[in-house]
Structure 1
Amino acid sequence: MAKKIKDPGIGKHSNKYARRFINADGSFNIKHINKVNSLSESYNYLINITWGKFFLWVLLGYTLVNSLFALVYTFLGISNIAQPTGDIFKDFLNAFFFSAQTVTTVGYGAMAPKGLLFGVISSFEALIGLLSFSFITGLLYGRFSKPRANIKFSSSIVLKKHKEVDAIMFRLMSKSDNVMIRPNIEATLALSLKDKHNEFTNNFYKLKLERDAITYLPTTWTIVHGIDESSPLKEFSREELKQLHGEILLLVSYYDESFAQEVHQVHSYILKNIKYDQRFVPAFYYDDDGYTILDHDKLDQTTK
């Protein structure tokens, strides 16, 4: 008989429209409102976004700062940094290029500020440039040095006979060449069910796995939960499983040699996405020289 466990931090309240707790990318499916923003949150945002978005923000900030100072230089008089051309757009471009040389402290020498006012403004801009590039350098270091788990989960979750009982299975592997040291996994089943008051509540169960820890993982690891007498899914038929509003919540931890510390990653699977009577295609094989060949593209592949 399966025993319920305490709320792992998700919350007991639910309803029939509730979405999954954990998104496919490992983030929690939560929308924040009435939240006070701070500079530290901007730092966290810039640390965690993709590299493409990060460099777009850097380019946008660089363009905005130079455009702002270029407008100031143009408005106060372009003759104080370069020979006027009579074309407002060309004068603005000259002011923009002068601003870019100032903010980066390059200073090619073709243009230079004249007068006290322009000297003060360009000096202030140079200070802003030094501070900005120091901040960006810190962000680059933070993005490279931040410990991140490097786990790839199979998109598929299957149910098939295993040791004479139905079993739920999924796979995981390392995205990189690094071997995962002492990986261990915790699996929690969250079922949103109607109670006696006809309201939806979350019920949590710890899933017993065939193996929840191994010594090292150089290839793939198939996680198996047998639906035996101790499983919370034992009371449901295959047809009933397809109708359940349930999610398997996962927490995987392992020691990463690159960061010399333990890292963690969360993931989840929806019960409605189970593939029935399928098995995973082997993802690694041996070549003629005896080397183990690991095909990352086969992690998700299943067959009847």
Structure 2
Amino acid sequence: MWRQTVDPGLGEKYNSRTKRLINKDGTFNIVKRGSEPRLYDAYQYLSNVSVGKLLLIILSFYLLINVMFALLYVGCGVENLHGVDPNLPPFLNAFFFSVQTFTTVGYGVLSPHGMAVNLIVTLESLLGWVGFAIITGLVYGRFAKPNVRILYSNHALITPTTEGKILQFRLANKRNNMLMELEAKVILMVQDVNYVRHYYNLKLEQSSKHFFPLNWTIVHHIDKDSPLHGLTPKQLEKQRAEVLVLIKGYDDAFGHHIHSRFSYLYDEILWNVRFKKPYDADDTGEIIFNLLQLHETEPVEGELPV
């Protein structure tokens, strides 16, 4: 067990406004301030933004560079560009010449003339090589990077059994690739009256799995040694309990280790229910696994009072 101290001066304001530690997409709900941004951090940032945002950044960079060099060409005089279209405004002629120079297309119609324009062309050509090299690296890195798509059950369950109670939840691989050598670590985070976060490792019935073709039900037995022993739903809510899930494995398709994170808040834990079986066999004996049934539960007969 370990703990993380929070400024008690925040009082009830902290307790009422704090959000979950791990978001549903696996990111941590933490905003860092006070760190000075560096140019070397740009590649890491661009490697982790969404695809739509990355495309928007690339398009903006592409247009901005060409507009900037088009203004330089206009400043040097469009008459120094041979083969311009007289039906287009000077800026558009300069812009299209910049696009051809930046991308090294060179259709052979437009060409520079004069020392000043050729110096600008030399600089833009170099910038084009560097820019496209960086963009190529970003695109390749995103495609080559293992993209984990692990589906977690919508709720964690506390289920009564003949031997006591268990905490359980399920996960499955949404892709057809094979994940191997999976390891799971589950941590209970609670907050005391002094707004100090305490972390407890939960002992699992099975903490590793060699193959992952179907679902994996992760189970923690709530015995006398469990930090969940004797707790009720109201007590979990009072302590703002959150079950943190960390998954590590090996992606056979990419040949890389993968990591996945998830969490269940106190109000995402259902009591006295159990999971339904998400798969069955057809007439030929082939197993049919329905991901949509991963979340389905049913009441336990003779449910215990909470």
**1:74–1:279 CA distance, 2 compared to 1 (3 A):** farther
Equivalent residue in structure 2 for 1:224, among 212, 216, 219: 219
Secondary structure of the 1:259 match is coil
Mapped partners of 1:100, 1:61: distance in 2: 12
Mapped partners of 2:249, 2:84: distance in 1: 63
**Cα displacement (A) at 1:147:** 4.2
Equivalent residue in structure 1 for 2:253, among 255, 258, 262: 258
Mapped partners of 2:287, 2:104: distance in 1: 53
1:131-169 CA-to-partner distances (Å, cap 9, x unmatched) read: 100111111222233345442222322222234433222
Mapped partners of 1:241, 1:6: distance in 2: 18
1:81-122 CA-to-partner distances (Å, cap 9, x unmatched) read: 2546476xx332222211111101001122111222111111
Mapped partners of 1:296, 1:95: distance in 2: 55
Secondary structure of the 1:36 match is coil
Matches within 5 A, 1:190-201: 190-194=189-193, 199-201=194-196
Aligned position for 1:298: 293
Equivalent residue in structure 1 for 2:2, among 6, 31, 55: 6
Mapped partners of 1:102, 1:229: distance in 2: 73
Number of residue pairs the alignment of both structures matches? 291
Unaligned runs of 5+ in 2: 8-13, 300-306
Secondary structure of the 1:279 match is strand
TM-score scaled by structure 2?
A: 0.86
TM-score scaled by structure 1?
A: 0.87
**Cα displacement (A) at 1:204:** 1.9
Secondary structure of the 2:70 match is helix
Aligned position for 2:102: 103
Equivalent residue in structure 2 for 1:245, among 240, 245, 258: 240
Query: Among the aligned pairs, what percent are the same residue?
Result: 35
Matched to 2:220, the amino acid is H
> Contact 2:156–2:269 at 8 Å: present in 1 too?
yes
**Greater CA drift, 17-26 or 131-140:** 17-26
**Cα displacement (A) at 1:246:** 0.9
Aligned position for 2:265: 270
Mapped partners of 1:216, 1:113: distance in 2: 62
Matched to 1:106, the amino acid is V
Q: Is residue 2:201 matched to residue 1:206?
A: yes
Aligned position for 1:138: 137
1:183-223 CA-to-partner distances (Å, cap 9, x unmatched) read: 111111111011xxxx2211221112222112211011111
Aligned position for 1:180: 179
> Contact 1:246–1:270 at 8 Å: present in 2 too?
yes
> Contact 2:76–2:116 at 8 Å: present in 1 too?
no
Unaligned runs of 5+ in 1: none
Aligned position for 1:122: 121
Mapped partners of 1:276, 1:171: distance in 2: 15
Matched to 1:22, the amino acid is I
Secondary structure of the 1:16 match is helix
**1:117–1:270 CA distance, 2 compared to 1 (3 A):** same
> Contact 1:162–1:226 at 8 Å: present in 2 too?
no
Matched to 1:6, the amino acid is W
**Greater CA drift, 140-149 or 228-237:** 140-149
Matched to 1:127, the amino acid is L
Aligned position for 2:53: 53
Secondary structure of the 1:62 match is helix
**1:242–1:163 CA distance, 2 compared to 1 (3 A):** farther
Aligned position for 1:74: 74
Q: Is residue 2:30 matched to residue 1:30?
A: yes
